[in-house]
């Protein structure tokens, strides 16, 4: 009996310690560096800062200061893959956080958390397969200032890629973008083909989407994207060391929950990967305020250095 009690005590202590650590780790903001050989031969490197899933509330002053500090990386381009909000009053704090980054060319798409403020959910729901998880977002009206946020970003010079195409001259290259609104809440619609396209097309084609659902990745690859940039998964958020992500919160496989991979097959630089696009999935910088925990999955932004193939 005493042994049982001691074992239960040890298990409870281990659980409490893990939870306390996961709370600390949720604020251990990190910059990841990833090299992507995707540019035409002879092109100079292009530095792309990928920010995603800030899930910002007005009281998160450390996160705001960290996002502001990312401007010191002096990227050639910023890509924001959505889920910026975690509070109805986060618009001004978001503009404070992102303000220094808008000094650089940028593009963005929205995630479900740019339309709907977060609600407390049963944490056990997180471990259900996405097909069995209730989609609460679509049953209520959007309550976040999505349009005002998009206007503030576009006024600052960033391009809104919600179901849209765009072009930018970045670092001497013609970069063509195709973006999708969030597949997680069925807002993704592939934009019409580029009527103005001539010749060989842009030097680089980037696909941008919040949630990396299979249908969205297939659509972007089918559209000719050289690389796809996405967020949403939080990299699994609670990972098991040595095992990785347990969930992706969408129908993407767990093996590609975060980091650089190929889509649909191996990485383009691996044997057999010539038919694939690059896929970068950010593990994100935030969490829902109702589950402020991360385990073996530090919050991050990524500096993607695009180099010649």
- Binding residues for Fe ion (CB under 5 A): 53, 83
Place of tokens 């471990």: 127
Report how far residue 197's alpha carbon sits from residue 223's, in angstroms, rounded to the nearest whole number. Answer: 13
Task: State which residue, 87 or 165, has the beta carbon closest to Fe ion.
Answer: 87
Locate 72 and state its tokens: 């010191």
3-state helix, strand, coil in the chain (%, to 5): 30, 25, 45
Q: Contact, 194 vs 165, CB < 8 A?
A: yes
- Close Cβ partners of 23 (under 8 Å, ≥ 6 residues apart): 292, 293
Q: Of the two residues 79 and 306, which places its CB atom closer to Fe ion in the complex?
A: 79
The nearer residue to Fe ion, 168 or 185, going by C-beta atoms, is 185
CB pairs under 8 A, 24+ apart, for 220-226? 220/178, 220/180, 220/277, 221/263, 221/264, 221/276, 221/277, 223/178, 223/190, 225/178, 225/277, 226/38, 226/277, 226/278
Neighbours of 19 (CB within 10 A): 11
Nearer to Fe ion, 248 or 276 (CB): 248
Nearest Cα to Cα of residue 79 among 188, 220, 251, 227: 227
CB 209 within 8 A of CB 230: yes
3-state secondary structure of 153: helix
Shortest gap between Cβ of 171 and Fe ion (angstroms)?
A: 29
CB of 88 to Fe ion, least distance (A): 17
Nearest residue by C-beta to Fe ion? 83
Q: For residue 165, what are the β-bridge partners?
A: 178
Q: Judged by CB, which is closer to Fe ion: 86, or 219? A: 86
Least gap, CB of 112 to Fe ion (angstroms): 8
State in angstroms the smallest separation of the CB of 65 from Fe ion. Answer: 21
Q: Residue 60 Cβ, how far from Fe ion at the closest point, in Å?
A: 14
C-alpha to C-alpha distance for 174 and 205, rounded to whole angstroms: 9
- Residues 6+ away with beta carbon under 8 Å from 2: none
CB of 217 or CB of 250, closer to Fe ion:
250
Residue 64 CB, shortest distance to Fe ion, in Å, is: 17
Q: Which of 137/305 has CB closer to Fe ion?
A: 137
- Separation CA 13–CA 143 (nearest Å): 40
Nearest distance from C-beta of residue 100 to Fe ion, angstroms:
22
Minimum CB separation from Fe ion for residue 111, in Å? 6
Whichever of 83 and 188 has its CB closer to Fe ion, that residue is 83
| Interatomic CA distance for residues 94 and 90, integer angstroms | 6
């Amino acid at each position: 009996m005493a042994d049982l009690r001691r074992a239960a005590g040890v298990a409870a202590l281990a659980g409490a310690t893990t939870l306390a650590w996961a709370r600390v780790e949720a604020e251990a903001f990190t910059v990841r560096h990833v090299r992507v050989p995707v540019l035409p031969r002879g092109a100079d490197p292009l530095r792309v800062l990928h920010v995603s899933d800030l899930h910002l509330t007005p009281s998160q002053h450390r996160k705001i200061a960290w996002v502001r500090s990312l401007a010191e990386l002096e990227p050639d381009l910023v890509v924001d893959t959505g889920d910026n909000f975690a509070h109805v009053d986060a618009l001004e704090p978001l503009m404070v956080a992102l303000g220094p980054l808008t000094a650089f060319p940028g593009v963005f798409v929205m995630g479900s958390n740019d339309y709907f403020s977060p609600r407390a959910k049963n944490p056990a729901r997180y471990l259900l397969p996405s097909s069995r998880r209730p989609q609460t977002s679509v049953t209520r009206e959007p309550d976040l200032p999505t349009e005002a946020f998009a206007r503030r970003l576009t006024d600052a010079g960033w391009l809104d890629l919600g179901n849209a195409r765009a072009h930018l001259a970045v670092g001497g290259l013609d970069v063509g973008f195709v973006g999708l609104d969030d597949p997680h809440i069925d807002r993704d619609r592939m934009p019409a083909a580029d009527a103005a396209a001539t010749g060989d097309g842009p030097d680089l084609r980037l696909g941008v989407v919040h949630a990396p659902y299979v249908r969205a990745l297939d659509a972007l690859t089918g559209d000719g994207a050289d690389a796809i940039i996405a967020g949403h998964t939080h990299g699994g958020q609670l990972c098991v060391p040595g095992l990785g992500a347990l969930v992706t919160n969408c129908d993407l496989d767990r093996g590609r929950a975060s980091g650089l991979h190929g889509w649909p097959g191996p990485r383009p630089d691996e044997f057999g990967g010539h038919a694939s696009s690059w896929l970068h999935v950010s593990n994100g910088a935030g969490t829902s305020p109702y589950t402020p925990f991360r385990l073996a999955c530090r919050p991050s932004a990524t500096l993607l250095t695009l180099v010649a193939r």
